[in-house]
Structure 1
């Protein structure tokens, strides 16, 4: 009886070990087969077959070394192969069909010993196709960028290196780089990219400034946010988006810098930039929080001149505050304005 149990236990143990081996082979085999298929397609220059080899973006992300075999190629040949892949997939439709190839190729280039300039054309192709790089790209790109910058290379020089392999940098790449740096808290370097991208022929746009201002206001760096907003309006002559204005006013309100917020609104109005209801409402509420009732009254008068009517509780607090500090004339003027507007 005991002998039978011992034999059964031994059999089950060996069978369990056999199953583990089979499971291990099964989990490794598909990835290796995929790598071999990709390598065969590259070596035969059958690049248009590549999209059909990738089952999903998840597969590409979970196997970031699918193009690792390219590291065995001389640099010139490696660059040529990447260029040929990018060029051959331009007309593949739908464009999303190629995103798995591009994503895997971007993972490989960003984690290679020399990620620039080769990774930038790959990123550019993804952005031009209308696809969104995977979230991990922000960290990989930022890390590679900061390492390259630590070698005392200027922003413009790193971007301009793309020309050595037949590509030109553009604002899309710079904006994505700015966004990536902001996502890991590297605002100072993101500011440097904004400042240096013009040297590579890339003109900062609404996205460039908006991303940086949003990141600056998120950590209440109001000095930098105001500086950037003034630069884009006065120097670059861009019309900021309403969300950008709201972000700045909200940050100034949070820092109790309502007078600076008023100056920003006045600057925008003087330059004929539209300021929306939400920005005005935030500003009035900020004035009330700081007990700046006279300022609140003046903002409301400017607000109603543009057809905006504050919420009823805000109206009541402004009028009550003005009466409370003895500003009867301004309080009466504000009330008359509300009556004229039928509110």
Structure 2
């Protein structure tokens, strides 16, 4: 892969807050940024060189966008694979590619792939219609969690089945769409590994944060995780194994359940920068957004050493109306530029820099 030089144009598919923060990192490294998304006023569209407003199935406009860029990336995993195909066919480099994107879009395919490379997950069954649920529940045991195979996020598209009496209501609540039924996991805590991979196979990981969710939405990510070093090492190695198997270029997040005995079960992966890594720009030598730009542009990856212990706190709904008066010394506030606060909507985050690291 040839180096993409400062002054070049990075294209981003998607206009949300992750695109906005990627654009900021790209700007600091001397790049211009174009954003492609259908929305008229998305957060990233107000901090870019040019906003290409169009549908993800507008092949002609996507090809024009690709021709205007030196490299293209994506900021969320629900970009239609067809849009990525247009970019790839144009000849403009795109990272990550179709494989990472398509596997992450289907929970059944994702878990099958993870298992195929030796990354363990919770036991699960594929559910095509409601008649599949009862026999699967017998095999997995109750309670089990019904999850849509596609487009679920932040706890959406999920329903617990605690007895056969819950089957019909759970099926309706997830939209009667193809699903997986997943065995309950008696986990002790949740962590994630953020890993970056370059096109020449160089990899870097960050310290795995301990993640706490409320109502299915990430609330806090804290480092250090409090886990033994060997458990963290195992998690990092599995994340590296995943990006190598995918041939992934850029940042990827792999989420894990940690069992009481220290064993790890992968939950899911996101082929992009991730909410649980938002603490890295303020607490590490190189944050996830800069690292992603480095990776997709063929630059050497930056040092990921942690300079501070840290806690990232998501600002959800009205909490996103926080002002600097609410901050403590050492806090760093990031707001996403969203015009309206709504219940369950991520409006920003605070990174609390705690103890400086001496190692």
Larger radius of gyration: 1
Specify if TM > 0.5. Answer: no
**Whose helix fraction is larger, Structure 1's or Structure 2's?**
1
Q: TM-score range by the shorter chain?
A: under 0.3
User: How does the TM-score come out when normalised to structure 1?
Assistant: 0.18
TM-score using structure 2 length: 0.18
